[in-house]
A and B are shown apart, each in its own frame.
Chain A
């Protein structure tokens, strides 16, 4: 059956409305419709996987034809996002199970959010993508509001930034339409190739602001930590794995397809073999990595760690993309896929923990490994992936990015990126230690593993991370298609890794994995052939002669890296957030002064009027005499 692009676009909207209507009947009916419509895009999409469609007109507004289209980049992301949305909808059913009407609205909003995301990905002109992009912001605003205690602050922060980004992009769109006369991507690209430098630069910066805000790159990231942390868990998954990627997708599309690297090198000065704007973006990416990582290390809230980690990983993606070389772009694109998978996985696990224990505050958790083993293993795979350790998928994309940096001869950026990788070990370990290892708190004695159906998202993503890690050829299949689409020479790859090629040393993850397994076997044999160990109770622990009792909390959790905090304390004072706070304070005072013009005092108004009257009468009379 042939599905038109418009059908693909409208499916989630329709599904959402249907599910919302069905909620009037019964919750389970609503859930069934919800899930079915989340699955339908899987059926609709494969038709387009190998196609590139450019102009599917669907509406004419303001004299312009709006069109949809699909290309390798969008189809890759569409597949990925459909999966993520489907998995989070499973999670959402559990999360909002006892929240009545809120759950109905959440189902509606999540479906519409999927539709809006599809709209942005399928757009082929600058007006369409903007319409759906703004729609996304509205929906995220409402979804976030259903979260935790501080969700209302998060909402306002988010929407302020979203509005700044949206209006910045709107400025660029109106400007481009004014100059180019057309809104289609191909027409705009054609205009830009001959446009004056000022226009190119201004519009690119305006667009970049919008995209990078969505992608939570510094210095536009201030909304991210609180929003990811306070949103409901299923929504956090979507935020980190989908919404952020939309910003990066748009960035990649615009930078390579609409503007084009050639344009930048033609118009802008070159710095170290990169055009200026790309070089600046590389540095912004690198700084995002390192600062995001360092701040993640000292967090006490599980979801905040993940949020800051997302910020840092965005930096990796931006760094890879703005390198502009086939290696770098491949690394960036691959990291988009990998990050969505492993970050979604981690948010799911943390969400499951919160579902069972009711808290996301790390000092209050601990020792859950015995109670939630499946979650533990999933999280273990997730953190190995975040840290970029083989054989999980994080290694492949980071590897490509590092090698790309080497190829481009940028040692300082490479150092920063590698250091960020090392830093990620720290917060990643903190996360798993404070939740699963250590002492089990008394109140969590009765905690069980999450329900079986709720385990599906975790397990699916964990297996996917492992699969993509050991066999990077599978995601690379899509990535190389996208590279070709964006006009770059795709890098060579095979199912098991990367063969030797200019700039890239061979990497073969299955070899690493098999060797590791062999080593484990050897060590394990040695271990298990020796006399068995006797299992002891957790309280039977060395504590310098003291006897530990159950009510004593001896878990080392709060201030896990307090010494690290001391080290970076001097730098903490220069937080980006404080810059914004002081700026906002300034605006508030200015606004306050302006507001006082409306004194509310009648005498002032009337006297003003009378003075006006007198002045004009004088002018009239004198004018009559003079002229």
Chain B
């Protein structure tokens, strides 16, 4: 019991550091692909410390302040509903469906805060973010449903345990896994789906007015989110992990494969992004669903 509670408290911190590591690794890898050295692995941590220690910050109002707070708070909440090897965390209280909704709370808080900033760029960015969400959620939902049908449960911890050994869904349901992978791309805002941020178009979108400690908090949240999204994919399709190290290794694997694609692609426009999501990934996921549905019957 005490162990459980201690793990609960410890997990966000773990998630934060793993997220930092993953983000840093990504930057390093991108740099190496670009044939340069790149920043050190712990660069994101340094960035955050710098931002948090800024003496002067601006704010546009209470909601503006609450945006990053809600984002981080929700990230902490979400990470506690994600099981890690050996520990259920809070999964007995919320399953896959609840998780899908909990994931959104942070974005909502962030969206409200950004809206309060009064900058049209932020609003455009958020509109795009929400539209993109509609896009990638479709294949993601179909993929999730396929898994639910296959395993007959919606509990995330069970997803992990039922794939033990090497019965990864990646091998058993390759189509679904591919669809889920592409969807996760959109969720993480990687190229070619980074239209939300789009530095050259909307001046980083929602974060345009955020600086200083606000931005620092946002980056903390982003680190935890990276952990969450990669962790989600790992749990659903890569069999979780026997212990925490394999788990992190798998997350790293996800990041590596993603970055490989990320560096090569330019940016989709938002209409094209959503159309794309609703075409190929959805089709692939539907085929995967059909296979499981008919096979299961």
Contact = CB atoms under 8 A, between A and B. Distances in A.
Q: When A and B assemble into the complex, do they touch directly, with CB atoms less than 8 Å apart?
A: yes
Interface of A: 367, 369-370, 380, 384, 387-390, 395, 399, 402-403, 406, 409, 411, 414-415, 418-419, 421-423, 425-426, 429-430, 432-433, 437-439, 497, 500, 505-508, 511-512, 515-524, 526-527, 530-536, 538, 540-544, 554-557, 560-561, 563-564, 566-567
A369 B74 contact: no
Contact of B124 (A421, A515, A532, A556): A556
B72 interface: yes
A520 B213 contact: no
B66 to A, nearest CB: 9
A527 B59 contact: no
Interface string B19-55: 0000000000000000000000000000000001011
A524 B149 CA distance: 40
Interface in B250-285: 269-271, 274-275
A507 B95 contact: yes
B199 to A, nearest CB: 12
Interface of B: 12, 52, 54-61, 63, 65, 68-77, 80, 90, 92-95, 97-98, 100-102, 104-105, 108, 111-112, 115-121, 123-124, 126-128, 130-131, 133-134, 137-138, 141-142, 145-146, 148-149, 153-155, 203, 208-209, 212-214, 217, 220, 269-271, 274-275, 289, 293
Contact of B59 (A426, A438, A533, A542): A533
Nearest to A543: B119
Contacts of A523: 68-73, 76, 217
A403 B145 contact: no
Contact of A541 (B73, B209, B217, B274): B209
Interface centre among A380, A418, A508, A522 (most CB of B within 10 A): A418
Given A422-B134, A505-B155, A511 B93 contact: yes
A501 to B, nearest CB: 13
Nearest to A537: B60
A370 B116 CA distance: 10
B145 A567 contact: no
Contacts, number: 225
A531 B55 contact: yes
A524 B108 contact: no
B102 to A, nearest CB: 7
A67 to B, nearest CB: 43
B121 A542 contact: yes
A508 B93 contact: yes
A507 to B, nearest CB: 6
Contacts of A534: 56-59
B133 to A, nearest CB: 6
A103 B8 CA distance: 58
B61 A535 contact: yes
A390 B154 contact: no
B286 to A, nearest CB: 9
Given A369-B61, A415-B138, A515 B80 contact: yes
A429 B130 contact: yes
A524 B217 CA distance: 10
A566 B269 CA distance: 12
Contacts of B123: 433, 437-438, 555-557, 560
B98 A564 contact: no
A213 to B, nearest CB: 29
B108 A429 contact: yes
A415 B142 contact: yes
A432 B121 CA distance: 17
Contacts of B220: 526
A564 B97 contact: no
A541 B102 CA distance: 32
A370 B61 contact: yes
B161 to A, nearest CB: 15
Contacts of B63: 369, 437
Given A422-B134, A519-B77, A390 B127 contact: no
B203 A425 contact: no
B27 to A, nearest CB: 24
A533 B211 CA distance: 10
